[in-house]
């Protein structure tokens, strides 16, 4: 919400080529605020038109897929598939194999003069997310192995550099990413002061665009752009952590209370449903110890 508002109101007004009235009355200005709810829009009226890329923040492309991942996880929890980890593993492998076969059939069936498609489809992120869930559910069995990390990283990176082969490399690459995340290297004191990773991710792109637009051709050189944009992105990330993200995390207690009430309501509902269905299954609700305990 904050990044979208700052981009539209501050950054947009600074860099738009349109008069103020035309800028704020343009439908694309209002549509840009739909980014807050995951309906992604990349352009603001008259902004960054002279840049090689006119997107204000291309990083927002992940938002709908992130929401899809969370919705998928909620569905897995509701149907209790997360508790059946071997069934979950089989389901994810079958889903990945299905997409891999579809992609390989496209690769084999294409005409020789047809160009290879460039880019990775967004639903790869959902498969990767599900592999992450599986990896967490099998965390007591999966070894923390440097050799396995190297093998997984090589397989994953090779598959992701070959068009249509990315689905084969998702599982190994997820292991490599999880391994790196668990290495827990010693942190710089500057980094230990807060969690700035997402702030750098979400603010970095519009800041780089602003540097490119504000400095002209010299701002397009990657090393000049990075040298100026990275410290600015870090400052905005610190602002995001201390003024937005950390205060928002204090809302968790209230959300946990709502969650407890929802779980109690769901447990009572399941108990009632079990009682209603008992004539069909030959069981009474009293014979369901788990439901009794939940009730």
Q: What are phi and psi of 43, to 5 degrees?
A: -105, 145
Residue 112 pLDDT: 67
**Residue 291 confidence (pLDDT):** 42
Structure confidence by residue, pLDDT tens digits, 208-237? 999 999 998 999 999 999 999 999 999 999
- Residue ranges covered by each domain of the chain: 1-56, 63-183, 253-294
Among 148, 127, 136, CA closest to 65: 127
pLDDT category, 76, cuts 50, 70, 90?
very high
Phi-psi region of 226 (alpha: psi -120 to 50; beta: other; left: phi over 0): alpha
CB atoms within 10 A of CB 152: 21
Average per-residue pLDDT for the chain: 88
In 3-state terms, what secondary structure has residue 132? helix
Q: What is the pTM of this model?
A: 0.77
How many angstroms separate the CA atoms of 247 and 245, rounded? 6
């Amino acid at each position: 919400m904050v990044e979208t508002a700052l981009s539209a109101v501050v950054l947009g007004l600074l860099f738009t080529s349109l008069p103020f009235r035309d800028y704020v009355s343009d439908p694309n200005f209002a549509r840009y605020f739909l980014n807050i709810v995951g309906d992604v829009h990349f352009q603001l009226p008259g902004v960054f038109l002279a840049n090689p890329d006119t997107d204000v923040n291309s990083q927002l492309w992940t938002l709908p897929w992130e929401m899809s991942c969370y919705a998928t996880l909620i569905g897995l929890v509701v149907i209790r598939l997360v508790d059946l980890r071997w069934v979950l593993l089989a389901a994810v492998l079958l889903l990945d194999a299905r997409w891999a076969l579809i992609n390989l059939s496209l690769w084999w069936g294409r005409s020789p003069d047809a160009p290879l498609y460039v880019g990775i489809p967004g639903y790869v992120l959902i498969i990767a997310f599900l592999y992450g869930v599986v990896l967490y559910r099998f965390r007591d069995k999966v070894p923390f192995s440097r050799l396995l990390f190297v093998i997984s990283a090589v397989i994953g990176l090779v598959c992701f550099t070959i068009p249509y082969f990315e689905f084969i490399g998702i599982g190994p690459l997820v292991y490599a990413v999880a391994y790196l995340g668990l290495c827990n290297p010693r942190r710089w004191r500057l980094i230990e002061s807060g969690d700035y990773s997402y702030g750098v991710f979400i603010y970095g792109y519009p800041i780089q665009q602003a540097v490119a637009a504000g400095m002209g051709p010299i701002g397009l050189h990657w090393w000049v752009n990075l040298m100026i944009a990275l410290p600015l992105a870090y400052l905005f990330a610190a602002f995001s952590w201390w003024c937005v993200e950390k205060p928002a995390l204090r809302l968790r207690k209230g959300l946990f209370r709502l969650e407890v009430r929802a779980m109690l309501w769901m447990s009572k509902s399941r108990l009632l449903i079990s009682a209603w269905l008992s004539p069909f299954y030959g069981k009474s609700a009293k014979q369901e110890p788990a439901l009794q305990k939940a009730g």
